[in-house]
Amino acid sequence: MSKPKLWHSYSARSLRPLWALEEMGIDYDLELLPFPPRIFKRDYLDINALGTVPFFTHGEVEMTESSGICLYLVETWKHAELSVPVGHAEYGDYLNWLFHSDATLTFPQTIALRYSQLEAKDRRLPQAVEDYSTWFIKRLKRLNAHIAEREFLCDDRFTVADIAIGYALYLGESLGLDQFYEPQVNDYWARLKARPAFERAEAIGRDEALFKPVKYPFEDAPELF
Ligand SMILES: N[C@@H](CCC(=O)N[C@@H](CS)C(=O)NCC(=O)O)C(=O)O
């Protein structure tokens, strides 16, 4: 099997596949980029025209979706411990959490992040920041109920669905929105971030990172560019 390669920026969604690679013990190449790469590493646009991270290659395969890459890794490496197979009673739930992680949870977070601190001060939108921060917390409703009686999301064990959702909780924490998490979500998040593979992956690029988010209520966030 050829060696996969991941382009990553500290604290970006590329942490999902990086964490999965570390959990699985796969040998990989890593390209560490300053965030956001479209500003600080212009030639990255020749590799990924979107300018976003992650970017992932494996032979001829090229991917840009962090939760999709996690699914690709467990399926391609046939990693049964971290996946839920087709036909399993919780397979639908497993896929739902994988997609929920980005389409429902990180989507409002990124709007709050952008309009509180990534944009120039005269383009910031406090109303959007407040509304989308609240929206993210409200969208945790399904997780709040699901995790109240469980240790992990699916099949009573840790899978890549936990990595996908765990990243949304990580981003929420970096934005200071964890102060609004319900206790069972805080406990779940504490279980996830205590995993050695998460600790290894999260530390990559931390010392060199140019960008570290300002926390809610995001007052006086400096201009980045
Ligand atoms: N849906 C994609 C989103 C990728 C994405 O937007 N990544 C952000 C970082 S979390 C990014 O690269 N932003 C930089 C930019 O938009 O210039 C995924 O889940 O991986």
Residue 8, strand partner residues:
32
Q: Which one is predicted more confidently, 221 or 140?
A: 140
d(Cα 222, Cα 225) in Å, to the nearest integer? 9
Q: Is 119 in the pocket of ligand 1 (CB under 6 A)?
A: no
Best probe residue, ligand 1, of 9, 10, 13 (max atoms within 8 Å of C-beta): 13
Nearest to 214 by CA among 132, 137, 112, 134: 112
Give the mean pLDDT of 199-204.
98
Q: What pLDDT is recorded for position 185? A: 98
Best probe residue, ligand 1, of 9, 31, 53, 107 (max atoms within 8 Å of C-beta): 53
Q: How confident is the model at residue 213 (pLDDT cuts 50, 70, 90)?
A: very high
d(Cα 74, Cα 91) in Å, to the nearest integer? 14
Residue 30 has pLDDT above 90, yes or no: yes
Q: Which one is predicted more confidently, 212 or 34?
A: 34
Nearest CA to ligand 1 atom 6: 52
Residue 200 has pLDDT above 90, yes or no: yes
Q: Which one is predicted more confidently, 219 or 7?
A: 7
* pTM across the whole model: 0.98
Q: What pLDDT is recorded for position 158? A: 98
Residues 97 and 139 sit within 8 Å (Cβ to Cβ) = no
Q: What pLDDT is recorded for position 211? A: 87
Q: Is 213 in the pocket of ligand 1 (CB under 6 A)?
A: no
| pLDDT tens-digit readout, 115-158 | 999 999 999 999 999 999 999 999 999 999 999 999 999 999 99
Residue 7, strand partner residues:
31, 55
CATH superfamily for 5-82 is Glutaredoxin (3.40.30.10)
Ligand 1 mean position, distance from CA 77 (Å): 25
Q: What pLDDT is recorded for position 210? A: 87
Nearest CA to ligand 1 atom 9: 12
- Looking only at the bridges linking them, the beta strands covering 29-32 and 61-63 are unpaired
Tell me the domain boundaries of the chain.
5-82, 91-195
**CA triplet 215, 221, 222: central angle to 5 degrees?**
140
Give the mean pLDDT of 69-84.
98
CATH class of 91-195: mainly alpha
d(Cα 88, Cα 148) in Å, to the nearest integer? 22
Q: Give the position, in ligand 1's atom list, of the atom nearest the Cα of 35.
A: 14
Long-range contacts, stretch 42-47, CB < 8 angstroms, 24+ apart: 44/7, 47/7
Q: How confident is the model at residue 212 (pLDDT cuts 50, 70, 90)?
A: confident
